Structure 1
Amino acid sequence: MKIIGVDTGGTFTDFVLYEDGALRIHKVLSTPDAPERAILQGIREMGLDPDGVRVIHGSTVATNAVLERKGVRTVYIGNRGLGDLLTIGRQARRELYNLQPAPESPPVPFDLCLETGGRLAADGTSLEPLTEQDLERLAQQLEDLQPEAVAINLLYSYLNDSAERAIESAVPEGCFISRSSEVLPETGEYERGIATWLNSWVGPLVTGYIERLCRGLPGARVSVMQSSGEAIAAEQAASQAVRMLLSGPAGGLVGARYVAATAGRRQLLTFDMGGTSSDVALIDGTPRLTSEGRIGPWPVAVPMVDMHTIGAGGGSIARLDSGGMLQVGPESAGAAPGPACYGQGGLDATVTDANLVLGRLRADAFLGGRMQLDLSAAHMAVGRLVEVMGTTVDEAAAGIIRIANERMVRALRVISVQRGVDPRGFTLVSFGGAGGLHVCALAQALGMRSALVPVQAGVLSALGMLVAPPGRQLVRTWLGLLHELDDAELQKALQRLGEVGVQALTREGLERSQIEVEYSLDLRYLGQSYTLNVTWSSCAKAEVAFHELHELRYGHRMGGAVELVNLRAALRGAESHIRLQQCRTLESAEAKAEVSLFGVDQPVPLYERETLFAEQSIEGPALIVETISTTWVAPGWSCLLDAVGNLLLERRT
């Protein structure tokens, strides 16, 4: 069977095809206005008949719509007196020390917030019934407002969703509908409401995108990567748009873990540097998930990979601020017009232009020679900064790289040092088209002695989607003091929750025997606001594990009662059995050429990665080029090619 992983990035759309035991890679420029066009173009260029092909892809449609605030006209329905819930939020000030913050637009305009009955108490009893008059009034209001989508969020609806279902039946046909009891059935009316509104706000856009993509791939089995790192069938993904907000980055983490495991590395800091942004994360055996993520200004409480994103990528624009200081990002040149060296009309200097000026990126080796970079355009773009800075073009380019590196180092510290993790014992895994040019500098700045540039590093997110298992992350609130709960009762509740996921996965064609289910509990000390997640085996063991985890995370444990908040079920099917090809052995490849680089006082050998042999060692400084990326082995570092083609970098000094 042919399986293809597709990662839609801000600049490029990447493809990895697995067929007859071999991998093929491909790249095309992204088409942000219609992302499916780039996917269909790439599959055509690879000569594939979509019939029978399994396509797993990451989509930025939901992410971009949220970040650019381009969702559809959405009505929010809440209980009486709570129509402004999403506007008030948690009363958390984004600029704590700004005495005159600029006013912020509410997520939902006031005229699109409707109120009705159907209010429950915390124990599930009815405080205000939902009447026929309420439903008739809502139906008339919706008829007048003509929304494209509706989000329904009633208090404690996760205990009894009958009122939300009744409201759903009153919504005019043709509207995209999200119920909070379905999107996120857990406590926390604000976070649940935001997730439900986001799902409706971008849901029609995701639905339209998936429909267009599937029409263009007749006969293909199309799946979408979720933010938690598992795939979901396209026909089910359309109704769960909020779970796709970190679709692409999640694929990178799955790919990094998969490839690093072949080199025996399990403790990883990952660094995905693309054209527009860089994503960093920590993997200690498996990627960490969080339900406290954010997208733009809003909390997103659905499970997603725990990562930190900054606006520093290969296309990040370098500029001088009002004080004449050099800044890099967050504005990006994107795919159009792109960096100046792309020759598409871009005039601003970018990180890619700086690497080209310094000689680390070769004009004739980009995308395997399919795309010739314009060195003179890069010099002109950087030269515009020189006129003000009073330096040489080479020095300005080196400054751009140093500032971009420092921004990425700070991001790596956020997810390691600032969370009590010493990164020096970890391996820095660098991927994305631009990552290999910066990996040595970042590892050295963090005191790390080892790094890994995976095989197919420039398309690792697409490779991760290729191997990502189908799966679900399910949650349901169950409040109670842990020592008062019965093991058998909780076990049955967890199994009921897991069965929901099993049925969803069997509809995708999986057998029950192929599905692995892991149960866990969200616990907290009574009176706390935030929870810690521990694996379920019994109430007593969960309580012991919670005390230990609390002490590990916060440095202390308390003697108070432990409260159960949520039940969780994580379901996964089997990963695709993709075997990475073995490299040739017993020989050593010679450098293709020697080049001169700014700041290096000796000729630098240039190697083609595909000509290297397993166990071949290369001493820095050196450049290793391949179709989709370039790795800069800095002075003081050595590089070893392992059996499957990973570059293992070690710091000698």
Structure 2
Amino acid sequence: MTRYSLAIDIGGTFTDAVLLASDGTSYVDKTLTTHNDLLEGFFRGVDLVSARAGIRAQDIDDVVVHATTVVTNALIERKGPPVALLLTEGFRDILYIREEHRYDMYDPQIEFAEPLIPAERTFTLKERTYADGSVGLPVSGDEVRAVIAQCREKGIVSVAVCFLNSYRNGANEQEVARIFAEEAPEIYVSLSSVIAPQMREYLRASTVAINAYTVPITRPYLTALIAELKARGFRQQPLIMLSNGGVIGAERASTMPVRMIESGPAAGALVACYFSRIFDIPDLISFDMGGTTAKACMVQNHEPLVTGTFEVDRRYRFKPGSGMPITVPSIDMIEIGAGGGSIASVDDLGLLKIGPESAGSMPGPVCYGRGGTDPCVTDADLVLGILDADRFLGGDMDLDLTGAQSAFDTLGKALNLPRNQAAWGVFEVVCEQMAAATRTHATERGIDYRGLPLLAFGGAGPVHACMVAELTESTKVIYPPLASVLSAFGTLVTPVQIDLVRSHVTTLDALEWCAVDEVLGAMVSEGATALGEAGIREAEFTFSFAAEMRYLGQQSEVRIELDFDPRKTRSTGDILALFEEEYHRQYGLKLDGMKVEIVNWLVTAAGRQPERAAVRAPDGSARRSETRPVQIRGTAQDVPVWQRASITDTDRIAGPVIIEERETTIFVLSGWEVSRHESGSLVAEKFAGKVAAEKEAN
């Protein structure tokens, strides 16, 4: 009997739907994201793919997995509700002071992202928890009630609480939550001792502030989603994609949206690993460009890079330290406000600027004909002739070419350029922004990005990937099947998984195993509960352990993967050996005689890897022989147009060429050749002669 799995990925502009049958047959569709009611867009996607498969919603009897960039987009675009922050007295300005680090010592005009919660909505309480976890001053109920009154006056809908040393003992934070629940149950409360129970005050404050800022968006939505799926006869509880590359139950995910920030992008990075194995390419660049944001992730040895701390909304040349830090486990990637809906404008210096503001799905780019007036990247692609106004989404969505041309006439006047040159300028600038972000991301991690293949996906990714590849000195671009909805497909090949971290600072020689048992036992219990809520049987539970360690007195930690349960082995010698081995691998030395400190314990709770049939490539269709004029670098060229489904294994297509499929368009520049891989992927490779000429010129 055929079983069906469903994946829905809600982005800032489009909602992608993938219905995957157990025999590998896939049905996909896209619909505009309905920001005023996300459920409307979710179930519109469900209805579209169900109709394509000829089944009812009740026939979807396997997993329902959901990914979204809504949390990320809310942070980048600052479209969240009024939120308050409660801190220990004397620490009011922690979000402004940050960690007192200038990320560029020699630039007098460096910029930081403005705190999500401004000073006028920040409150302090007279309370104190000491470094050893003992409570020196309990919370005053009267003080908390006074804060509640001020929150109501200011229209606050969510509150973040981050008290000093609460990672050691969250009793005072819990008391605040209890009083809010009694006096103001309508206000959401996020506690740093629950969301990020780790040392370093600013990191915890930033993380819990982001959670509080986004929980009013995700909690009502996911609660309603659970109820509506049940009402429509779905048999499974929905699973939500997390930033760490795992999925978890929607009920738990709704309380911690900070773990969903890289939800959709994480799914894309994981499916990039999936294709790296298919192509036997251990190292590649995952390049995902949607309607609102673009994401890049480095895949090394078929696995994505993982980090315990990452930043969103970097405001200054993608430099680390210029964004908002988050201390939760996540797939390591860089994300910028450069998508199909990113708005093109002229800055105070008269220079062309793209994003981070996005037109989203409402009103959307001018060409959508939904009231948008600002020229966007998609408008530029249409004006240049890369997109076909009559065949967008297979003709289901007509584009307004005249409106887009008018918008670029206006932008061209501001730049003193003709319309087509202004449009090509937008195309080049947005590609350079994405290439610069990729170069920065790779260089920060000591990775030589030059020559690494790109896996291009997302609705706008295949349009721009070839230019990005040229700018990153790559010679190969892979366009996988389902490229436009690949992040949604990625959620179907990921396990149920949650990563947990707890700070427990102690030197290795002073380690008390009873304390370790308590810390790890609490995380194992929490992980088991999360897996059970997601429908995983206890027999399928797996737990892996890690520690973040350093030499005493150092600032940064090294993550050590433990291939054993430390509660059972109780061997400090084995842990020390693993630390010294990893430290030597990273830094080329070890410090004999220096004490070693454990800072954080980590537990990963996971279910079994899901078994999915490989996606079958679309069947071939009749060839269509045509060309259309495309403005390339200011010159009109007649460019061949192919239908993707008509390309065979024997075809070798020289660029420039446009390859259309229903959900996206591939644009390949001159000097590149396209062929079809047995997986159904298309592969664009740079001519060897052009590569040699460029090397000689350099």
Q: Same-fold call, TM > 0.5? A: yes
Match of 2:683 among 639, 648, 652: 648
Identify the residue that residue 369 of structure 1 maps to in structure 2.
395
1:90 partnered with 2:116: no
Q: Taking structure 1 as reference, are residues 68 and 95 closer, same or farther at Cα in structure 2, changes over 3 Å only?
A: farther
Identify the residue that residue 30 of structure 1 maps to in structure 2.
33
Structure 1 regions of 5+ residues with no counterpart? none
Q: Taking structure 1 as reference, are residues 104 and 278 closer, same or farther at Cα in structure 2, changes over 3 Å only?
A: closer
Contact 2:113 2:324 in 1 (8 A): no
Work out the CA distance in 2 between the residues paired with 1:507 and 1:229: 18
Work out the CA distance in 2 between the residues paired with 1:110 and 1:584: 56
Work out the CA distance in 1 between the residues paired with 2:213 and 2:636: 56
Q: Taking structure 1 as reference, are residues 27 and 481 closer, same or farther at Cα in structure 2, changes over 3 Å only?
A: same
Identify the residue that residue 694 of structure 2 maps to in structure 1.
none
Work out the CA distance in 1 between the residues paired with 2:548 and 2:475: 36
- How far the C-alpha of 1:456 sits from its partner, in A, is 0.7
Work out the CA distance in 1 between the residues paired with 2:650 and 2:542: 37
Deviations 1:275-315 (A, max 9, x none): 22211111212222223222345321112222112222222
- How far the C-alpha of 1:405 sits from its partner, in A, is 1.6
1:606 partnered with 2:628: no
Stretch moving more, 168-177 or 72-81: 72-81
1:266 partnered with 2:300: no
Identify the residue that residue 634 of structure 1 maps to in structure 2.
669
Contact 1:356 1:362 in 2 (8 A): yes
Work out the CA distance in 1 between the residues paired with 2:36 and 2:442: 36
Deviations 1:364-413 (A, max 9, x none): 32111212323333333333344455554433333322222211111110
Q: Taking structure 1 as reference, are residues 553 and 617 closer, same or farther at Cα in structure 2, changes over 3 Å only?
A: farther
Deviations 1:319-364 (A, max 9, x none): 3444443333333332233233323343443322332233322223
1:42 partnered with 2:45: yes
Contact 1:260 1:454 in 2 (8 A): no
Which TM-score applies when normalising by structure 2? Answer: 0.84
Contact 1:231 1:468 in 2 (8 A): yes
The amino acid that maps onto 1:212 is: A
Match of 2:13 among 11, 18, 23: 11
- How far the C-alpha of 1:427 sits from its partner, in A, is 1.9
Work out the CA distance in 2 between the residues paired with 1:103 and 1:617: 47
Contact 2:83 2:117 in 1 (8 A): no
Matches for 1:434-583 after TM superposition, within 5 Å: 434-482=460-508, 484-485=510-511, 494=520, 496-537=522-563, 539-540=572-573, 542-547=575-580, 549-550=582-583, 553=586, 558=591, 560-583=594-617
The amino acid that maps onto 2:665 is: T
- How far the C-alpha of 1:251 sits from its partner, in A, is 2.0
Deviations 1:591-627 (A, max 9, x none): 5423343348975432211233346443333221101
Contact 2:624 2:643 in 1 (8 A): yes
Work out the CA distance in 2 between the residues paired with 1:248 and 1:495: 31
Work out the CA distance in 2 between the residues paired with 1:202 and 1:391: 41
Work out the CA distance in 2 between the residues paired with 1:483 and 1:619: 65
**RMSD of equivalent CA atoms:** 3.3
- How far the C-alpha of 1:533 sits from its partner, in A, is 1.4
Work out the CA distance in 2 between the residues paired with 1:26 and 1:211: 25
Percent identity over paired residues? 32
Match of 1:135 among 113, 132, 141: 141
Q: Taking structure 1 as reference, are residues 206 and 536 closer, same or farther at Cα in structure 2, changes over 3 Å only?
A: same
Identify the residue that residue 132 of structure 2 maps to in structure 1.
123
Contact 1:584 1:613 in 2 (8 A): no
Structure 2 regions of 5+ residues with no counterpart? 314-322, 564-570, 689-698
Stretch moving more, 524-533 or 64-73: 64-73
The amino acid that maps onto 1:628 is: E
- How far the C-alpha of 1:503 sits from its partner, in A, is 2.5
Q: How many residues align?
A: 648
1:597 partnered with 2:617: no
Q: Taking structure 1 as reference, are residues 357 and 101 closer, same or farther at Cα in structure 2, changes over 3 Å only?
A: closer
- How far the C-alpha of 1:232 sits from its partner, in A, is 1.7
Which TM-score applies when normalising by structure 1? Answer: 0.89
Q: Taking structure 1 as reference, are residues 532 and 592 closer, same or farther at Cα in structure 2, changes over 3 Å only?
A: farther
- How far the C-alpha of 1:94 sits from its partner, in A, is 7.6
Identify the residue that residue 191 of structure 1 maps to in structure 2.
203
Deviations 1:565-592 (A, max 9, x none): 101112222343222344489x997554
Work out the CA distance in 1 between the residues paired with 2:115 and 2:441: 30
Work out the CA distance in 2 between the residues paired with 1:442 and 1:100: 27
- How far the C-alpha of 1:3 sits from its partner, in A, is 2.0
Contact 1:142 1:172 in 2 (8 A): no
Identify the residue that residue 354 of structure 2 maps to in structure 1.
328
1:2 partnered with 2:4: yes
Work out the CA distance in 2 between the residues paired with 1:450 and 1:115: 57
Q: Secondary structure at the match of 1:156?
A: coil
Q: Secondary structure at the match of 1:598?
A: strand
Work out the CA distance in 2 between the residues paired with 1:324 and 1:227: 38
Work out the CA distance in 2 between the residues paired with 1:234 and 1:66: 21
Identify the residue that residue 336 of structure 2 maps to in structure 1.
310
The amino acid that maps onto 2:18 is: V
Match of 2:299 among 276, 280, 283: 283
Q: Secondary structure at the match of 2:125?
A: strand
- How far the C-alpha of 1:429 sits from its partner, in A, is 1.0
Q: Taking structure 1 as reference, are residues 107 and 373 closer, same or farther at Cα in structure 2, changes over 3 Å only?
A: closer
The amino acid that maps onto 1:266 is: P
Contact 1:62 1:245 in 2 (8 A): yes
Identify the residue that residue 421 of structure 1 maps to in structure 2.
447
Contact 1:75 1:114 in 2 (8 A): no
- How far the C-alpha of 1:74 sits from its partner, in A, is 4.7
The amino acid that maps onto 1:223 is: L
Contact 2:69 2:265 in 1 (8 A): no
Contact 1:615 1:642 in 2 (8 A): no
